[in-house]
Every structure is written in C-alpha cells, then in structure tokens.
Amino acid sequence: MTFQDIFKSSFLENVSSISILDMVLAMALAFAIGLFIYLIYKKTYAGVMYSSSFGVTLVGLTMITTFVILAVTSNVVLSLGMVGALSIVRFRTAIKEPLDIAFLFWSLAAGIVLAAGLIPLAVFGSVAIGLMILVFANRKEHTNPYIVVLRCDDHAAETEAAEYLKTKTKKCVVKSKTARQGEIELNMEIRLADDNTDFINELAAMNGVESAVLVSYNGDYAG
C-alpha cells in the first residue's frame, strides 16, 4: 500500500459527500426552527415548575436530528448501521406534561424534514404547529375549577355543608368521600359564579365542620 492509496480510502471520500454550504445552511435552519419551538414551549407552558433545560433540549434535539439524517441520506450503508445503533437506545426520563410529547416529536420531525431538503415544508409546518399550540394551549375556560376539601363530624353536618355549598356555586360535584370514626372527608369539584371566596369562611364556621379548604387546579388530575 502506497502513500497515495491511503488517501483513496472510502472513509476519506465521504468527507466531500456533503458540501460545507449544505451543512452550514442545514444546521443554521435547524437552530432557528429549534429556537422557535423553544419560544413556543416557553410561551405556552402551563405546568407547575418550568424547566429551562427541557427548552434547550428541544433546540439541541432539532440540530442533532438534522445532522444525523444528513449523514444517513449521504450513505446507504451508514443508514442501515444507524438504524441498528439507534435501536438499542432507551430513554427513561418521565414526561410530566402531555404537551411535552408533542414538542419532542415536533423537534424530531423538523430535524428530519430539514435534513431531507424540504425547507419550505419545515418552515411552514413549524409555523402552522406553533400557531395551533398558541391558540389552543392558551385557551382558558370562563370558570376555573376548584376543589373543596371538607371535614365534618357527622352526616348531618356533611349534608348541611353540601347544601350550603351548592347554593354558593354554579356547579358542585362530589369527587371522593372518606368516612372514618367520628370524621367524614369530602372532596368536591366546584365552579364559582364570581371571584368571591368568602363562602369558605362561612363553611368553616358552621357547626360540625372541622375545616374547609379551597384549592385551585387545572382539571387534569384524575379524581
């Protein structure tokens, strides 16, 4: 093997399979679309604790997918090896918000479409998805749901408190009931007619009611 044969290897021939301009353009567009996805995620996040690392992950995932697909499309043999390598990868991070799954798939799809050269589809699709999420994720109901936790001494106090609560709310539904010796606990979903919550003070002052707690929630919890 001569010195020239070394530079004729198939490995070095793959260096020029993708032009520098294509690489720069693809990665720049991937960063721009990933940043757009990150801004939509930050704007529409409605969970308890915002995770900035997840937003950065969306940008990185779009760019990573782009350069992986660029490598796959440039070499058929590499694409087969890549499928085998990625099939052993397992992700065990729990997804806390259902909408986060959509953002993850959005980042992956944007990277794949960009690397395939379908730039108009990637841009138009990302804008359309972003507008859809902005419209529906920020859409709020006219009346926010609440949970009232009542602790009563006996059945008579429970009945009186429940009837009083129905007169002060637009909707009142029992979600769960726990009965113990000398104590009854009720979890009731209510919807207020206005922002006045003084009825909780009156509930707590009723005879036979040990405590009354009002908790706001977003309606996603199973009850």
Q: What is the pLDDT along the chain (223 residues), one digit of tens a residue?
A: 555 554 455 544 555 566 778 788 888 999 999 999 999 998 887 766 667 788 888 899 899 888 888 877 766 555 555 655 555 556 566 667 778 888 889 998 998 888 888 889 989 999 999 999 888 876 655 556 888 888 888 888 888 888 888 888 888 888 888 888 888 888 888 888 777 788 888 888 888 888 888 887 655 444 3
pTM, 2 dp: 0.60
CB 32 within 8 A of CB 114: no
d(CA 112, CA 202): 59
b/e 157-196 (16+ beta carbons within 10 angstroms → b): bbebbbeebeebbeebeeeeeeeeeeebbbbbbbebeeee
List, for residues 187-214, the tens digit of each pLDDT value.
Answer: 888 888 777 788 888 888 888 888 888 8
Tell me, letter by letter, the H, E, C secondary structure of 115-177: HCCCHHHHHHHHHHHHHHHHHHHCCCCCCCEEEEEEEECCHHHHHHHHHHHHHHCCEEEEEEE
The reported pLDDT for the residue numbered 131 is 92
Position 204 scores a pLDDT of 84
Please tell me the predicted confidence (pLDDT) of residue 135.
86
Q: Is 204 exposed, middle or buried (0-12, 13-18, 19+ CB in 10 A)?
A: middle
Give the count of alpha carbons within 13 A of 10, CB side only. 3
Domains of the chain: 3-137 (no CATH), 145-216 (3.30.70.260)
The pLDDT of residue 221 is: 44
